[in-house]
């Protein structure tokens, strides 16, 4: 994989969760369902239902057990719910990025992999692979960009085009698990 996970913004496109004040697991355990969901809504891209359903598994001993409860929600979710979650994610270096319509989290994540500074050739390659992937599967390519760089992302996009739909749904959920875990580790203290 690409570069190691960066926990904080280094001023050069590194990751930052400054828009979410840190909360402790202990504090999160005391919140009602609505407050818990509001506090962690960012963990799963435009899909607070995952966080809301995990609330029932409280109390959590750690960020890891909280995240495991959220992943159990995803495991139990219907295929339709999983596809809705996958489709809530933006294309990498896609239309939403160009129009500056990404969530703060997606914007920082894409910038951490240099996707906000593509050469014209790189942009053309991302555009072509995004289009091919979306045509083949009907949803955007998902990868934890914070654990990759431009080259490894492009390589994975090309390689995963040969997978079947069920494999790609499973791979997307795995990658969403990595994305959400890093988001939670940045925002929640132990």
Domain ranges of the chain: 23-83, 91-175
User: Do 36 and 28 meet the contact criterion of CB atoms below 8 Å apart?
Assistant: yes
pLDDT, one tens digit per residue, over 31-72 is 999 999 999 999 999 999 999 999 999 999 999 999 999 999
In the set 5, 41, 89, 190, the catalytic residue is 89
Q: Is 190 a catalytic residue?
A: no
47: its two tokens: 């899909």
Work out the pLDDT band at 176, boundaries 50, 70, 90: very high
User: Do 51 and 41 meet the contact criterion of CB atoms below 8 Å apart?
Assistant: yes
Q: Are strands 23-24 and 188-189 parallel, antiparallel or unpaired?
A: parallel
Residue 51: exposure state from Cβ atoms within 10 A (0-12, 13-18, ≥19): buried
Q: Look at residue 133 and tell me whether its pLDDT is greater than 70.
A: yes
Q: What are φ and ψ of residue 96, in 5° steps?
A: -65, -35
**Residue range 165-175: mean pLDDT, rounded:** 98
CATH classification code of 91-175: 1.10.3330.10
């Amino acid at each position: 994989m690409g570069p190691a996970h960066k926990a904080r913004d280094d001023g050069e496109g590194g990751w930052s969760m400054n828009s979410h004040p840190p909360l402790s697991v202990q504090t999160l355990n005391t919140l009602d369902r609505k407050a818990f969901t509001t506090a962690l809504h960012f963990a799963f891209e435009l899909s607070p239902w995952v966080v809301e359903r995990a609330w029932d598994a409280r109390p959590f001993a750690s960020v890891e057990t909280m995240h495991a409860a959220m992943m159990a929600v995803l495991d139990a979710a219907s295929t339709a719910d999983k596809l809705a979650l996958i489709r809530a994610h933006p294309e990498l270096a896609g239309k939403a990025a160009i129009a500056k319509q990404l969530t703060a989290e997606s914007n920082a994540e894409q910038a951490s992999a240099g996707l906000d500074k593509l050469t014209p050739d790189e942009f053309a390659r991302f555009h072509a692979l995004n289009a091919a992937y979306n045509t083949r599967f009907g949803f955007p390519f998902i990868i934890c960009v914070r654990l990759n760089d431009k080259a490894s992302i492009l390589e994975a996009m090309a390689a995963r085009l040969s997978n079947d739909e069920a494999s790609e749904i499973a791979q997307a959920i795995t990658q969403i698990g990595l994305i959400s875990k890093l988001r939670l580790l940045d925002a929640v203290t132990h």
